[in-house]
A and B are shown apart, each in its own frame.
Chain A
Amino acid sequence: MNRPLILLIGALALGAAIFAGSFFASRHVTAMCCVKPSDDLAWLQTEFHLGDAAMTRVRQLHEGYLPKCGELCAKIAEKKGELNLILGNSTNVTAEAQVKLNEIAALRTECQSNMLQHFITVSQAMPPEEGKRYLAEMKKITLGDHEQIEQTMSNDTGHEHHH
């Protein structure tokens, strides 16, 4: 290989290393500085430009919602444990297992319904435009994922549809 080519390759490698080094270092520093893991609601305030009054209201709603959500999650976990016990030695879905599946589905529906209601209530505590944006974002995350999964499953003809 001739000298100019080696020089050019070396210079490109050095340039790439400088760019990559500064990119990853500054990304890490920025990511570390901007995240406040102690406050789950910090994102809401900055993203949706909430004032102190709106933030106080949102915080109240959030704190009121969490125990209900936790209670439902505990019930779902309990029912899942029961379902596992029923399915433990069985080779097919028994009537008893079906009942547990229905109970879990009902609890999940209730949980999702409560969650959507919470999103709507929170969005109403925000300035109208920000509220709309918040609701759209939350719907995209909580409902969009399901749509995406269902779409993937329905397109995947080679596999069984399983939740």
Chain B
Amino acid sequence: MNEKKNLPDDAALTALLRPARVSPDLPPGFQQNVWRRIEDSEAAVPTTSWLDAMAALILRPRFAAAAAAVLLLAGILAGTANGRQLARHEAEMNYVASVAPAFAR
């Protein structure tokens, strides 16, 4: 209600103030400078290399924890399989040593 009531006065006030508004002159080459700065900022966007991407991935706690867990599990599985083979070979050699001492390795 108030806005409608004030509208004629505002228009009159605006018309009165318009000539008094100071609009400073733009410095020379202002527009070119603006465009140059826009272009520069676009060109400056860093293109991430695979190394950066990998480093960023490694630094992710979830990825690091998952990778560590996978490596730990793989190590345990491989070690257990290898240990079984080793134990089997050792047991075999124990037997061979008991029946053919010259051939035990």
Residues of A at the B interface (CB closer than 8 Å) are 2-5, 7-8, 11, 14-15, 18-31, 33-37, 40-44, 46-47, 62, 65-66, 69, 73, 115, 118-119, 137-138, 141-142, 145
Contact = CB atoms under 8 A, between A and B. Distances in A.
A3 B87 contact: no
B76 A4 contact: no
A42 B79 contact: no
B38 interface: no
A7 B59 contact: yes
Contacts of B49: 4
Contacts, number: 120
Contacts of A145: 103
Contacts of A19: 71-72, 74-75
Interface stretch (B1-9, B14-22, B29-37, B92-100): B92-100
Interface in B47-105: 49, 51-52, 54-55, 58-59, 64, 67-68, 71-80, 82-84, 86-88, 90-92, 94-101, 103
Interface of B: 49, 51-52, 54-55, 58-59, 64, 67-68, 71-80, 82-84, 86-88, 90-92, 94-101, 103
A15 B83 contact: no
B51 A5 contact: yes
Contacts of A30: 79-80, 82-84, 86-87
Contact of B55 (A4, A15, A33, A115): A4
Given A36-B91, A47-B92, 4 more contacts: A4-B54, A42-B91, A43-B88, A115-B100
A119 B103 CA distance: 14
Given A4-B52, A29-B83, A66-B98, A34 B88 contact: yes
A94 to B, nearest CB: 26
A87 B98 CA distance: 31
A141 B100 CA distance: 10
Contact of B87 (A8, A24, A35, A118): A35
A47 B51 CA distance: 50
A43 B91 contact: yes
Which 5 A-B pairs have CB atoms at the shortest separation, nearest pair first?
A30-B83, A22-B75, A26-B79, A34-B87, A4-B55
